[in-house]
Amino acid sequence: MNHSPSVVHTRTALREALNDLPGKRGLVMTMGALHEGHLSLVTEARKHCDHVVVTVFVNPTQFAPGEDFDAYPRTLDADVAALTRAHADLVFAPSVEDVYPHGDAQVTINPGPTAQVLEGATRPTHFAGVCLVVHKVFNLIRPDVAVFGQKDAQQLAIIRQMVRDLDMGIEIVGAPIVRAEDGLALSSRNAYLSATERTQALVLSRALQAGQRAASSGKNAETIVRSAREVLASEPAADVDYVALVDPTTFLPVSRGEAVLALAAKIGTTRLIDNTVLEVNDD
């Protein structure tokens, strides 16, 4: 039988609940609107830990004015039901005031150069907000292991770097992207897509597949990126932000070895990102 996780909303209740969870502690941070991708992070955390704590918190500091903070789906009851099926032990769903009790933080984290490119070029304050909330939640929960999805590959690289540079002593585990059967990477923002837009959005995964094929046949970095761009250009509804082949750690352009082919495009008003890891063996 599935056992519902305890759900706590305040730091005080969190502290008490954590006392009841001895052993190795795993953390999965989410903004809610959970899908199978999030649940796979819980399953991954379980492999490494005795207990898994999941946070559900739409973090205002990682949204710029005009982004979708207010519209972001908030579905806590459905999230807890899903986390029951995934065997999470504890859910921390705080208010903004509980995470930021003193208002705007005066001491913040500079996420460094990896945060200035790709997603960071379009969303210049985004990764500082992510690092701030991740660091705060790490301090509140003190996990041994934290699992983040490869879907947000640049976020994962920056969090790894923060943990390394600030000696945070937490093992960061990356979990593979979960895709729908037709290839669309699962994302809470897919909920914004109309049926037509959802079909149009499949161009993102098709572009990555074209890049993968070019890499497998020994094409160089330029050709790999061009193959992906050509597929994206075939869908008039896709407003492309970037297509880039980058180093998995620095997110700077690479021309050989292991690389992340990353892309972002708007379908209608919904901005989607996707990526794949590939090997570039220049021809």
Residues that bind ligand PAF (CB under 6 A): 29-31, 59, 62, 130, 133-134, 152, 155
What CA–CA distance (Å, rounded) separates 146 from 137?
11
Q: 273 and 258 in contact (C-beta within 8 Å)? A: no
User: CB-wise, 30 or 190, nearer to ligand PAF?
Assistant: 30
- Shortest separation between residue 1's beta carbon and ligand PAF, angstroms: 29
Burial of 243 (0-12, 13-18, 19+ CB in 10 A): buried
State the minimum distance, in angstroms, from the CB of residue 133 to ligand PAF. Answer: 5
Closer residue to ligand PAF, CB minimum distance, 51 or 126: 126
- In the numeric block, the tokens 């880039």 are attached to 244
Place of tokens 């990353």: 262
CA-CA distance, 86 to 14, in Å (whole number)? 20
Choice between 27 and 210, CB closer to ligand PAF: 27
- Burial group, residue 106, by CB count within 10 angstroms (0-12, 13-18, 19+): exposed
Report helix, strand and coil shares of the chain as percent, to nearest 5: 40, 20, 35
Residue among 30 and 205 whose Cβ is closer to ligand PAF:
30
Q: Is 135 a catalytic residue?
A: no
Q: What are phi and psi of 191, to 5 degrees?
A: -65, -20
Least gap, CB of 59 to ligand PAF (angstroms): 4
Which of 9, 38, 102, 126 is catalytic? The answer is: 38
> Do β-strands 257-267 and 270-280 pair in parallel, antiparallel, or remain unpaired?
antiparallel
Q: How far is the CB of 237 from ligand PAF (least distance, A)?
A: 25
Strand partners, 233: none
Nearer to ligand PAF, 225 or 260 (CB): 260
The least CB distance from residue 255 to ligand PAF, in Å, is 29
Q: Which residues are catalytic?
A: 38
